[in-house]
Amino acid sequence: MRRLPIYLVLDVSESMAGDPLAELGHTMESIVDSLRQDPHALESVHLSVIAFAGKAQLIVPMVELMTFYPPRLPLGGGTALGAALDELMTRIEVDVKKTTADQRGDWEPIVYLLTDGRPTDNTDHAIARWQRHFASRAHLIAVTLGPAADLALLKRLTDDVVAMESASAEALGRFAKWVTASVAAQSQAIDIAEGTSSRLSIAKAEEAGINLIKQSDVSSWAPMDERVAVFTGRCHRTSRPYLLKYASVAVPGTFSTGDWDHFYGLEGCYPLEESYFEWSSIVPLHAALSTSQIEGVPPCPHCGARTTLAKCSCGKLMCCNGPGVQQCPWCDQSVEFVAESHGAGFDMTRGLG
């Protein structure tokens, strides 16, 4: 039996924290559940999952559809697309059987690369390598989630770029339906025309409510400003980490300048796993944001303390329930917090998104 290998390469950077990451997990489940209803797909489809944030890693090795179990997705800081492509190329080399004189190899693998942001690592080498050695024997479809993805860069990687307006349940639901239908159709085409297979067509994407990105869209595309600001802190009682996520909101500035001011509104505060730090790149963070630019201070998701924005002299954030002395869960020194003085904002170190 010749296999039809499918790779899901998923961006799990911190801008995906909260609902988008949960929706991504549901999307994987629903694609797998629907494909299992299809006898052709059930016979040929094999799946593998690679996740990337500051680092890229294989999280599900190639398995047949029947035994695939959707993984728990990690979360990390950074968008190492170059590393993700390198990992993908390694996996294709290892997994995909080539056709030789005495064996019929696997069908051309299909790769769905989902990302919502701009890469934080160097992608030039990986894109060149992909174009030279892999573009002709694997079909890569890049899928952007929301307006911050780097269309021009993805277009350099593959002709087939499709755009979803966001990572909402509704948008990803449409995406899951489209993937299921096109993979099922592809597995059937293979079944009928044993020996010859043409590439999966993305022409029907628009009928499914998914935008096809053409080269002309890229030239008129203006990269969107940093849309999300994220910060990490630790609970001062349990030491467990959390992530604060703010989204940029543009408001009209003074009439004299006509400029727009940006502030960051609270989107949520989420408990993190320790694995977050392993999945984050360790490049120094430059971007800083002042508390005067952010709106909304959530309570600690671990202990319920009133604020998650208390800052130690080591530069890290922790939760705090009011004035008094407490120990910093990052550096262990004692810090005294006094009643907050309004107007004196402090700067926080900002994550990579």
Chain contacts with Zn ion (rule: CB under 5 A): 235, 300, 302-303, 305, 312, 314, 319, 328, 330-331
Nearer to Zn ion by Cβ, of 194 and 336: the residue is 336
| Closer to Zn ion by Cβ: residue 252 or 304 | 304
Using the structure block, give the residue that is written with the tokens 């390198």: 86
Structure tokens at 136: 């002709």
Q: How far is the CB of 336 from Zn ion (least distance, A)?
A: 12
Residue 319 CA, distance from chain mean position: 27
Q: Cβ closer to Zn ion: 82 or 233? A: 233
Query: Least distance to Zn ion from the beta carbon of 234, Å?
Result: 8
Which CB sits closer to Zn ion, 90 or 333?
Answer: 333
Quote the CA–CA distance of 35 and 46 in Å, as a whole number.
11
User: Cβ 134 to Zn ion, closest distance in Å?
Assistant: 46
Spatial distance between the Cα atoms of 321 and 8, rounded to a whole number of angstroms: 42
Q: Which residues face 161 on adjacent strands?
A: 142
For Zn ion, the closer of residues 134 and 330 by Cβ is 330
Sign of the dihedral defined by the CA atoms of residues 96, 99, 103, 108, in that order: positive
Helix ranges (H only) for 196-323 are: 215-219, 275-278
Largest CA distance in the chain: 78
CB atoms within 10 A of CB 255: 7
CB of 71 to Zn ion, least distance (A): 28
Task: Work out how close the CB of 318 gets to Zn ion at its nearest, in angstroms, rounded to a whole number.
Answer: 7
